Structure 1
């Protein structure tokens, strides 16, 4: 039971050369002090070697390995989807550390390139590219998680001071405690509801009006945060798009989130699967015919997931992003469950200090959230039902 090393069209000559270039660069540089960072970071492990991973991310930037898909005039390399996919595949296969700049590089940067003013682009894009400023995402709230249109954080323009004033609370804000700025979806038109009257704002976090409280997770880490905004301020010019047009900008940003980096995610999943199969062989769990059948089925499901991911990048299929989220979230969550069965009774204890989880225990615990964050399974199915299949809309109170 092995997963394919590559799914999709064969590399062109130019793509093959690029694959060799990034593979050789990683082999040359992931040595010495950097070798200790291999495999660190990622969901449930973002607390690992944050400063060292940021230094590694800056090394990538110095050598032109950040912002690959950005236009050249904005500091990127202008690479197409195929070569971006190759980079993410080879980066994952090299077991390189998780970068610290995903939200800025993959989400906000492309959003500013499409919707931002020249002044905003000049102010923020160089800092994102060089990994000098880190960003977090101020979307979810206690009463607005997957139902993002229910946000209630308020933004009022103080024309006298020329600043937006924000009051409200954001929650599950990934890496807010490590970030310099937050892009915020806030309600800027009193009396508005749902996706109307929202604005997309850029907010500096180092100010008295912002309080960040890390949330201790079941994995023992605290990569998520509550962010309390009490009279927090940002310049009037720090709005992306027009006032009240925040929903369109926010949805465009989420579209960038489901881009080519998903193929890198798939390679990470492939490594987890192969490592779990190796563990099952070593500890004898693979001799159990029922468990062996489930592992074989999971391997086949991975192949289909990879094919679907490639197809979603090459064909504009309505609802493809929602289907992909449903598929990978459920698959990864079940992988965590399989890991506990492969470990057997040992999955219930730790071998080191109190609550010193191993990689499989951490995978199991964190993957319980896969079907919730980024839009729950229920929300994904509702979107598919209403927007793709044309079924009657769900009644909302």
Structure 2
């Protein structure tokens, strides 16, 4: 955990020129990359409850799932459940790519909604190892249709476990980043299955096209001096910068205020910052690839039929996985899998299916949807943002800056999220 915190802090050594005040919107970090890494300064996050009625859910989503010895610790899909003592609406929250059910941003959303009187159940991303191991039917994440069906199954299991303990007035749904796109597909599936009849669905900073957005993130690695092949050297350089600053700064804790302080020192260039985001994505992708490969026994990273034990070193596998790009995963692992399942499937058709465009008519006609996005979110092109703005119309809230999720915990954003679910106007069964 300490190394993880050091890495996050290392990401925070960013240039000062991106800070600016905005008369109409108070989130202070104007730079897209910088906002993404720093997030929201602590003094701009609203006061949220410290004590709540919560418990962890451990779901047996796939009862006959066999788990390799290396994943001995995984006892089931983990979800966090926050509940009111009185009848209340329930909101399912889907984490962003690679995030757990207790990701910091997800917990902030949970606290804000709980404070406003909602029941909340948080779910990990289908690209998180726990979900791949315990809840993914294919064990190969990335397909919006399949992942959303897995999420729906997990939601049903979660609801079955808690329905005897709470009273629910309506069901609602939200997700951020990849989880936002998945929320849209989950809602569409619910139109057919009608288990929840979601009253409202909020999408926060979704990609329009998964392939396009991930491609843009991968391209950031090229901003590292020397390109992606120099990522190890680059990380060591950044870690040294952080270590020197920490040594002379006499700080005792790595928290939001600390990150914001070193952010203002301006030790990283804008290009280096983009490279760090790309490097972070690559590390998260490595975890996805490893978990999927072991669960499917595909032989992509770990030799086929090699049984890994809890005492085995995983360092070499991690090293190999971090050098696999998203293009490698898509072309060598993901696409071949779906091509076998869907004879005649072209690469282009698969890419298009992993896009909100594939359910455009549903999204444009359903009044239950809302969108929160940022003008300078680097996972979207200008044309893609314009498309989303036109698709959602008055149902969209576009902020002038905030990068990708950087302003999610900002007080105004959280207030808008809560207000979205509290507002009247869409009934249980309205499409």
Same structural fold, with TM-score higher than 0.5 when normalized by the shorter chain: no
TM-score with structure 2 setting the length: 0.25
Greater relative contact order, per chain length (Cα 8 Å cut-off, separation 6+): 2
TM-score with structure 1 setting the length: 0.27
